[in-house]
Amino acid sequence: MARHQAARSGDDPAHLSRDTLWISRFMMAAFSSLAICILLVLLYFAGVTDARAVILSISAIVGSVLVFWLIFWFGLNRGSRDPSLTLPMATSAVVSLLFAMTLSDVTRDVLVSYFGLVLLFCVFRFRTPMLLLLCGLILVGYGAVIALSWPVGGWKAHSDDIARWMAMATALPMFAVIGGNIMAGRRAAMRRLAASEERFRRLTALSSDWYWEQDAALRFTTVSAGLETHAGIAPARLIGKTVEELRADPAPEELAAYQNAVHARQSYAGIEWRMRDDAGALRWISMDGEPTFDAAGELLGYYGTGRDITQRRQAEALVHFRAHHDALTGLPNRALLNDRLAAAIDQARAVSRELWVVFLDLDRFKLINDSLGHKVGDMLLQIIAQRMQGVLRGSDTIARMGGDEFVLLLPDSPAGSLSTALIARIMDAVCAPVSAAGNELLISCSMGIAVYPADGDAGDMLVEHADVAMYRAKQAGRNNFRFYKAEMNELAMYRLRMESDLRNAIESQEFVLYYQPQMDLKSGRISGVEALLRWQHPRPGLVHPAEFIGVAEEIGLIVPIGAWVLEQACTQAAAWQRAGCPPLQMAINLSARQFAQKDLVSSIDAALRRSGLAASQLEIEITESLMMTDVEQAAATLNELKRLGVRLSVDDFGTGYSSLYYLKRFPIDKLKIDRSFVRDIGSDPDSEAIVGAIISLAHSLGLSVVAEGVERHEQLAYLARCGCDSMQGYLFSAPLESEAMERMLRGLPPSKAAGERGKMAGAGQMPGPVASGKAGAFNPPPAWERK
């Protein structure tokens, strides 16, 4: 019948529960009626009533119940004010009893007590008016029964009935009023309870928390629906289970906190544990719990709230990962490396074994970045990081320090003892060709190795020493590795000091320009000067560029230094001219970094404008290698410079590519024969032949030639014989300070110690080799290998 009613209400849960309530009331009334029938049968067997009365009464009761059942079946009860049909059923029970009374006059007192049963049933259903109605019906009905049986026996025979009637007439209205109020109070309490439950339901629906209760054995007994809504876990899965039975893999310390709290019967908050949701995914759950006790202080259980904190935990894990890993390669970063390094040192100390700390830096990675772009550089870094991970052992760590620098921790262990074979494998992995964005790239790396405990017992010291050794490997030509040695540190200190002093040098105006004249071999006059950079260091004195240009290039200072040289040289040349000196060609050297500057041409133009020097009087010296790095770009830049009107010469000609192709391709005006060929004139016929060939080649291409490093007369004579246009070297003049140069230009005799020779041994042309070890202003250690 319930299903029938539910089907009619479209399986709506609200209807379903209402129908269930009606039906349960109907069934209770039906069972009450059945109880009356049983009592009637018992009365018969007790001999206090006759069979006819019992049969007829039971038939009436059963008949009326059947009628009500049919009413329910067809849903005719719906829409009525009393859908559970309690009043009609009570009325029919009363009528059936009255009917039984009319049939039996001996058992009226028993039957009258059945009215009490009916009224008791109704007292929990009806309010006062209904109860009064029912009581009225009983009184009227009973009065009618007495009246109908009056003729038989008269007053005396019915004195009991009359007394009962009168007692009932007194008691029933009071009963109706009290019972009705009980009912009204009960309903009001139920409404309040329902409202409170509704509020709680809404609250839990709004909140991301859910409510739960546990029994004394800490098994869940109640779990609100929010668990399913917010965490995808059906509450039924928790019922009857403990946290220990449900957890997926607990964080031991957190479960310990839970167990300690429940063991001590204390409240707890923020206990976090994991369980699988209905789809099998792991979920983090946080619980707050409060114990409840009975009057005797015995634990009844716990109740509290829970929430799904999976997202928060995932976000925390992500933040933690990002804080400890490099975003590009996913490798551990410096912070995590430090942790692992400390742990690896502890471990190595505990087992008395070595630990290798390897500092790895890619060779000329900047070139790839600059020529193919950062994206390709990034891809290369990612691929190389993966490859290195592939060759490392499980116990090894590789971290990215930033840029193209990596640090590897290689612990020694019986399972995989350390050897340079592992280093070679890493090197092979890096050096294998890489395909990135359609480019086939080849790169190498330099590595420095510091060994625990020999090279230090602190993590940062080992990394520092490995870095020093790596730097040494770079200096030794790259694509190799070096183990750290104590002497290397002195070298590193020297370099550090130089770096920091260099950074101050521009601001402190410690740079000076020396000028070395170039003599026209036909006229014997000064045709131009080359501006040569020197560093007037406050402590050691004049420093040769061979000692600091390489460092300035590496730390990027070469660009501002080059700009200063340009500005200074143009200003000086214009000043000499204004002072009445004959016009001359001012030559300056350009570094690779300057040449790659996007604003090179405009900055030269600006320097010329500021100084007032004619562009044709400025000569830019570039090296062959500088032009060959990116031929297209170099051609474009050189053409722009040419359009500006400056002259271009190729420095150190003969030592590099010496490609005829670029001589034809680039708008060059002059070749500068390298000093190494000039030096051997008179002693090496091959060098002489090369010098002769360069001069005739240049002339046939319409270029002029200058020979540098001329120190002896026989060199000069040979050059003159070959038709060389001009020469530069100590034979004519050492590099001079501006004042001395001006005297020379004016044809005045030189003042004392005007030349650089007296001030700095080994002074040569920038950036040529140093002739004497005495030049070391910073006194580098003997192991120092100049680049």
Ligand X SMILES: Nc1nc2c(ncn2[C@@H]2O[C@H](COP(=O)(O)OP(=O)(O)OP(=O)(O)O)[C@@H](O)[C@H]2O)c(=O)[nH]1
Q: Which residue ranges make up the site for ligand X (CB under 6 A)?
A: 328, 361-367, 369, 374, 377-378, 381, 403-404, 474, 478
CB of 770 to ligand X, least distance (A): 21
Q: Token digits for 186?
A: 């009960």
Output 381 or 744, the one with its CB closest to ligand X.
381
C-alpha 381: how far from its chain's center?
19
Output 403 or 645, the one with its CB closest to ligand X.
403
Mode of pairing for the β-strands spanning 647-653 and 511-520: unpaired
Output 403 or 560, the one with its CB closest to ligand X.
403
Measured CA to CA, the distance from residue 268 to residue 307 in angstroms comes to 14
Output 101 or 502, the one with its CB closest to ligand X.
502
CB of 519 to ligand X, least distance (A): 39
Q: How many CB atoms lie within 10 A of CB 667?
A: 13
Q: How many CB atoms lie within 10 A of CB 398?
A: 21
CB of 600 to ligand X, least distance (A): 19
Task: Find the residue with minimal CB distance to ligand X.
Answer: 377
Measured CA to CA, the distance from residue 712 to residue 679 in angstroms comes to 9
User: What is the amino acid identity at position 716?
Assistant: L
Output 414 or 438, the one with its CB closest to ligand X.
438
- In which residue are the tokens 């209905």 written? 278
Output 377 or 768, the one with its CB closest to ligand X.
377
Q: What are phi and psi of 525, to 5 degrees?
A: -95, 165
CB of 562 to ligand X, least distance (A): 18
CB of 554 to ligand X, least distance (A): 7
Q: How many CB atoms lie within 10 A of CB 471?
A: 20
- In which residue are the tokens 């010469």 written? 649
Output 128 or 371, the one with its CB closest to ligand X.
371
Torsion, CA 376, CA 380, CA 383, CA 385, rounded to 10: -130
Q: How many CB atoms lie within 10 A of CB 235?
A: 16
Q: How many CB atoms lie within 10 A of CB 257?
A: 16
CB of 384 to ligand X, least distance (A): 11
Contact (Cβ atoms closer than 8 angstroms) between residue 53 and residue 99: no
Output 82 or 378, the one with its CB closest to ligand X.
378
Measured CA to CA, the distance from residue 725 to residue 518 in angstroms comes to 10
Instruction: List, as own/partner pairs, every contact residues 411-420 make where C-beta atoms lie below 8 angstroms and the sequence separation is at least 24, other chains included.
Output: 411/344, 411/347, 411/348, 411/353, 411/354, 411/355, 411/356, 412/348, 412/353, 412/354, 412/355, 412/356, 413/351, 413/353, 418/354, 418/356, 420/481
CB of 447 to ligand X, least distance (A): 12
Q: Give me the count of residues in the chain.
A: 787
Measured CA to CA, the distance from residue 571 to residue 578 in angstroms comes to 10
Strands of 220-223's sheet in order across: 220-223, 209-214, 299-308, 282-293, 268-276
CB of 381 to ligand X, least distance (A): 6
CB of 301 to ligand X, least distance (A): 57
Per-state percent for the chain, helix, strand, coil, to nearest 5? 55, 20, 30
Output 434 or 777, the one with its CB closest to ligand X.
434
Output 381 or 543, the one with its CB closest to ligand X.
381
Query: Running DSSP on this structure, what letter comes out for residue 770?
Result: P
Measured CA to CA, the distance from residue 513 to residue 572 in angstroms comes to 10
CB of 328 to ligand X, least distance (A): 5
Output 243 or 488, the one with its CB closest to ligand X.
488
CB of 376 to ligand X, least distance (A): 8
C-alpha 329: how far from its chain's center?
12
CB of 614 to ligand X, least distance (A): 37
CB of 546 to ligand X, least distance (A): 18
Output 488 or 531, the one with its CB closest to ligand X.
488
Measured CA to CA, the distance from residue 660 to residue 556 in angstroms comes to 32
CB of 404 to ligand X, least distance (A): 5
Contact (Cβ atoms closer than 8 angstroms) between residue 475 and residue 785: yes
CB of 766 to ligand X, least distance (A): 21
CB of 502 to ligand X, least distance (A): 16
- In which residue are the tokens 């650089």 written? 756
For the chain, how many helices (H) and strands (E)?
29, 21
State the Rg of the chain over Cα.
54
**Residues in Cβ contact with 755 at an 8 Å cutoff, skipping those fewer than 6 apart:** 733, 734, 735, 736, 740
Q: Residue 481: helix, strand or coil by DSSP? A: strand
Q: What are phi and psi of 299, to 5 degrees?
A: -70, 125
* H/E run at residue 570: helix 558-578
Output 557 or 588, the one with its CB closest to ligand X.
557
Measured CA to CA, the distance from residue 49 to residue 149 in angstroms comes to 16
Output 363 or 619, the one with its CB closest to ligand X.
363
Output 302 or 406, the one with its CB closest to ligand X.
406
Output 307 or 465, the one with its CB closest to ligand X.
465
Contact (Cβ atoms closer than 8 angstroms) between residue 496 and residue 471: no
Output 370 or 680, the one with its CB closest to ligand X.
370
Alpha helices in 579-707 (DSSP H): 592-596, 600-611, 624-628, 631-644, 660-665, 675-679, 685-700
CB of 374 to ligand X, least distance (A): 4
CB of 439 to ligand X, least distance (A): 13
User: What is the amino acid identity at position 159?
Assistant: S
Measured CA to CA, the distance from residue 389 to residue 398 in angstroms comes to 7
Picking from 137, 134, 138, 86, the residue whose alpha carbon sits closest to that of residue 111 is 138
Output 551 or 761, the one with its CB closest to ligand X.
551
